[in-house]
Amino acid sequence: MKNIDAVQSFLALGQESRLNIFRLIVQKGAEGVTPSEIKESLGIPAATLSFHLKELYQANLILVERQSRNLIYRPHAEQVTDLMDFLLFNCCGGKVCAPNKKDKSIN
């Protein structure tokens, strides 16, 4: 993954509503989720939801498929995996990373 691709992903996820939408889509996994289900679950107005879904799609973080009259949104697993790999590349200088017992505040 190139730096510019990672930056685009981070910019898309750097807004609270988009992050919540993305997390919901990831939770649904391969099953996917419709805009109506997202709207119900998160209480986001349709026009706002459409804008956020477009941003996540353009950042290549989600995939969309039309099934009859419905749009189904799923996480773009390969892109998410690439982003995680990008973040963890050479983590801990190549050594096994052990959590710091004192630092339990990370959520």
The CATH number given to whatever domain includes residue 75 is 1.10.10.10
**Inside any domain, residue 74:** yes
Q: What is the pLDDT of residue 26?
A: 95
Q: What share of the chain is helix, strand, coil (3-state, %, to 5)?
A: 60, 10, 30
10 Å CB burial of residue 63 (0-12, 13-18, 19+) is middle
Instruction: Look at 11-15, 56-60, 100-104 and tell me which has the smallest mean pLDDT.
Output: 100-104
Residue 63 domain flag? yes
CA distance 68 to 78: 26
Range of the domain at 57: 3-86
pLDDT digits (tens, 9 = 90+) for 42-98: 999 999 999 999 999 999 999 999 999 999 999 999 999 999 888 888 777 767 776
Domain count, the chain: 1
Average pLDDT of span 3-15: 93
Provide the angle, in degrees to the nearest 10, between the axes of the packed helices 35-42 and 16-28.
120
pLDDT: which is higher, 46 or 103: 46
In a domain, 102, yes or no: no
